[in-house]
Structure 1
Amino acid sequence: MKKLLFLLLILPLTGGLLAQDIPPKDWQIETALMAVPSDYREGAAVYGYDASGAFTKLREGTNDYIALADDPTRENFSTAAYHKDLDPFMARGRELKAEGKSGDEIFEIREAEVRAGTLALPDKTTLCVFTGKVNPQTREIEDPYVRYVFYMPFATGESTGLPTTPTPPGHAWLMNPGTHRAHIMITPPKEN
């Protein structure tokens, strides 16, 4: 009973994570960089999590890419990378999430802010998402997979000539057409 009470008291203070749940900094950097195109890996900045679970910069960058380490509070392994011009938009999303806003609320708030010109969003930029499974013994990433997102705010099917519904793997399509978050999805076929 005392152990349960301790956990109930300590989890809110640690954001739900204990120090042993946070992967080592070097591992976070190494796996976050898997989302970065190879031309930009060496100089990419990396954000991840410190020993307390707080989101922080793990490595300064010298080029235009930013990589995000896997969020240890989420069940599935996923890292991402994007051009630095997208960082204010991404940071705003993290800020709103920390305030307890839902996904729909975040979308609506950023939509209004981008339309008002108070939140910067490049007219085109990329995001790469790297997923896989972490081998519990070796900590290696198995079944690696990368998908690509090309943001084109307010693009439509008509302005791009792309379908606006999901297509077979490998075919481009436009998600969230006509909104600030309009983006071309490219989901390569997975290997068997």
Structure 2
Amino acid sequence: MNPFSTVVTGASRPPLLALLAAAFALPAAAQAPLPVDLQVRLAVQAAPADMRDGATVHGWNADGSVSVLRQGDNEMICLAPNPTREDFEVSCHHEGLEPFFERGRELAMAGVTGNARTQARWDEYTAGTLPIPFGATNYILTGEGFDPATAEIQSPYLRWVIYTPEATATSTGLPEAGGAPGAPWLMFAGTPGSHIMISPPRGN
């Protein structure tokens, strides 16, 4: 049974822990894609509030491919939660990053994952065949689950990734390791995948 279809009412209510498991359960692996409207409502929550209404939304099909669920009119593209993942995540990124993310999905569909997928995209950037725009932002929103009736995300946590290919500590003045909670730092410095990480303290 899909845990998101569970409705609990009246005297039949289970204890609190069971209720939370039913209402906010995580997507199970190999689950069918969520309804289109729900995919859209969940996905746009990763975007800044003033960009949500105009964002394009990409969602998941039964065969694992991604298609446009809603065409927007601004520079933001949001991605609905992947039903094959155990954890909950939605994200929104600047349209300039879409070729990079689309290529990542293509490689994953072809069975190229992990470090091999990362290196493949870096090599294509270096060859001039895959753009990674400097300064483009990806907003990543995770949570412990969601309510399918309201699209409310449980324990939402938003972090930011700002792509800065080939940037270094010298060129940016940023450290190459995390420091104070929420402070920006540079990951993969000096590589095509260099990016600024901003991860606020949990619970804030």
Instruction: Report whether the alignment pairs 1:113 with 2:124.
Output: yes
**Distance in 2 between residues matched to 1:17 and 1:191, nearest whole Å:** 31
TM-score, structure 2 as length reference: 0.80
Task: Report 1:131-150 matches (<5 A).
Answer: 131-135=142-146, 140-150=152-162
Consecutive unaligned residues in structure 2, runs of 5 or more: 1-28
1:23 aligned onto 2:34: yes
Aligned equivalent of 1:10: none
Give the 5 Å matches for 1:37-186: 37-51=48-62, 53-135=64-146, 140-186=152-198
Q: Is the 8 A contact 1:175 1:185 kept in 2?
A: yes
In structure 1, runs of 5+ residues without a counterpart are 1-15
Tell me: CA distance 1:137–1:125, structure 2 relative to 1, closer, same or farther (3 Å).
Answer: closer
Could you tell which deviates more after superposition, 164-173 or 24-33?
164-173
Aligned to 1:4: none
Normalised by the size of structure 1, how large is the TM-score? 0.85
Shift, 1:136, TM fit: 5.9
> Whose RCO is larger (CA < 8 A, sep 6+)?
2
Question: What does residue 6 of structure 1 align with?
Answer: none
Question: How far apart, in 1, do the equivalents of 2:132 and 2:64 lie?
Answer: 28
CA distance in 1, matches of 2:183, 2:59: 32
Deviation (angstroms), 1:49: 1.5
Give the match for residue 13 of structure 1.
none
SS state at 1:94 partner: helix
The offset of 1:140, in angstroms, is 2.8
Distance apart, 1:169 and its partner CA: 2.0
Q: Distance in 2 between matches of 1:60 and 1:29?
A: 11
Does the CA-based 8 Å contact 1:17-1:53 persist in structure 2? no
CA distance in 2, matches of 1:96, 1:54: 12
Q: What stretches of structure 1 move > 4 A for 4+ residues in a row?
A: 135-139
Is the 8 Å Cα contact of residues 151 and 182 (structure 1) preserved in structure 2? yes
Is this contact kept in 2: 1:77–1:131, CA < 8 A? yes
Instruction: Give the equivalent residue in structure 2 for 1:3.
Output: none
Number of residue pairs the alignment of both structures matches? 175
Counterpart of 1:85 in 2: which secondary structure?
helix
Name the SS of the counterpart of 1:123 in structure 2.
coil
* Same amino acid, percent of matched pairs: 43
